[in-house]
Amino acid sequence: MEYFQVVLLLALIPGSTSLDNGLLRTPPMGWMAWERFRCDIDCNKDPMNCISEKLFRDMADRLSEDGWRELGYEYVMIDDCWMSMQRGSDGRLQPDPDRFPGGIAKLARYIHDRGLKLGIYADMGSATCMGFPGTTLDKVELDAHTFASWGVDYLKFDGCNSNAIEQLIGYPLMSKALNATGRPIAYSCSWPAYIGGLPPNVNYSLLGDMCNLWRNFDDIQDSWDSVQSIFDWFSTNQDDLQPAAGPGRWNDPDMLIIGNFGLSLDQARTQMALWAIMAAPLVMSNDLRTLNNDALAILQNRVAIAINQDPRGIQGRRLLQEKSRIEVYWRPLSHSANALVFLSRRQDMPYLYHSSLAKLNFPAGSFEAYNVFSGKTLTGLSDKTEFTVSINPSGVVMWYVYPARQSPRPPKDTGRYPYMRRKYRMSSFHKII
């Protein structure tokens, strides 16, 4: 549909383009069920892993007791398959009574009592992606008020089994309806993913007035190929996507799969680093009850989180694609700091990459660089200093770079940069970090 037709139709919906909820000034963080647990609804055969009240209580317990909440992971998000196959006699969506015997409102209280927030899933259309009741246009207001009455804090609004006209009207209507409830509910809309993700089909300025975040591209799968396809698409289209992001409005490349089965240790670090650079939501989909120490160390890395949560909210960019299959990503941060990621797309052996900050468009000056995953700090670094980084195949080296005159202690407005104690001096020859 042409852009002028979109504007005309939206103009007919009073207040539809003003989200005005003040939420998600930094990208949301939390846990979501879908990628790891999918639509497992057989609680007789698989009681520990089925989509049920127990699963979400378990994850809330882990977020509140294992240090996640203090790092910013605050949302527990239900995805598809939570519903009964029919709406109630009053027309409202209802949870499956066997798998959610206490209802969603009781589950919300349980989650809120642990200092966390509840997210839920619905679908613009005749049915959800897995065939449960959808939200047709006549049910948008009813569903918004139902979610608010349950104490929901976040809505993921999908778009399976809907057409372009229903999406065009329904996504803005849900934004208006959520505002009208009077409850602050973060709004994630999947609209761009259903219409190609790019202009002219998607007007991101308009979208940012309706949704707090949006899915742009394919669902993530538990594989390195899937992760690569996502950051390749975002980087290839960064000129269209990067300006759309900012406080309260975020591009969403989908969930973190760290701690599952498809990524090596290096690939897991790569996903965390690039999601931080992209100012992406840090929403895990894994089993928090069984994470190993490597996954914990990556997902709870305070500096990677702080980079992701930087209050300026500027999405980063891919700077370089070298013939050596090394790529460099960059994000500007608060306090004159920057984040750099050196990514190896090679498959052979660790690669020694040589560069300088001047070659990466840094201004003249003296800097220090904190290696996010090794914990080492490189000092005595000028813009002209030649440095070397050793990058594992499909791995990254991630730096937090700041002016040398600036203390590496935490900036007061984030409180999440750790005290960086391990330092060494850089001499006139290359050091590899």
Indicate which residues carry an active-site annotation.
158, 219
CA distance 374 to 390: 12
Q: Which residues pair with 341 in a beta bridge?
A: 329, 398
Which residues, other chains included, contact 123 with Cβ-Cβ below 8 Å and sequence gap of 6+? 80, 129, 132, 134, 135, 157, 158, 159, 160, 161, 162
Buried b (16+ CB within 10 A) or exposed e, 302-330: bbbbbbbbbeebbbbbbeeeeeeebbbbb
CA distance 331 to 308: 10
33 touches 78 (CB < 8 A): yes
369 touches 422 (CB < 8 A): no
Over the Cα atoms of the chain, what is R_g? Answer: 22
Q: Which residues pair with 74 in a beta bridge?
A: none
Give the CB-side neighbour count of residue 278, counting CA atoms within 13 A. 29
| Three-class HEC string of 89-117 | CCCCCCECCCCCCCHHHHHHHHHHHCCCE
Secondary element (H or E) of residue 80: none
The dihedral over CA atoms of 135, 141, 144, 150, expressed in degrees to the nearest 10, equals: -110
71 touches 297 (CB < 8 A): no
CA distance 49 to 38: 10
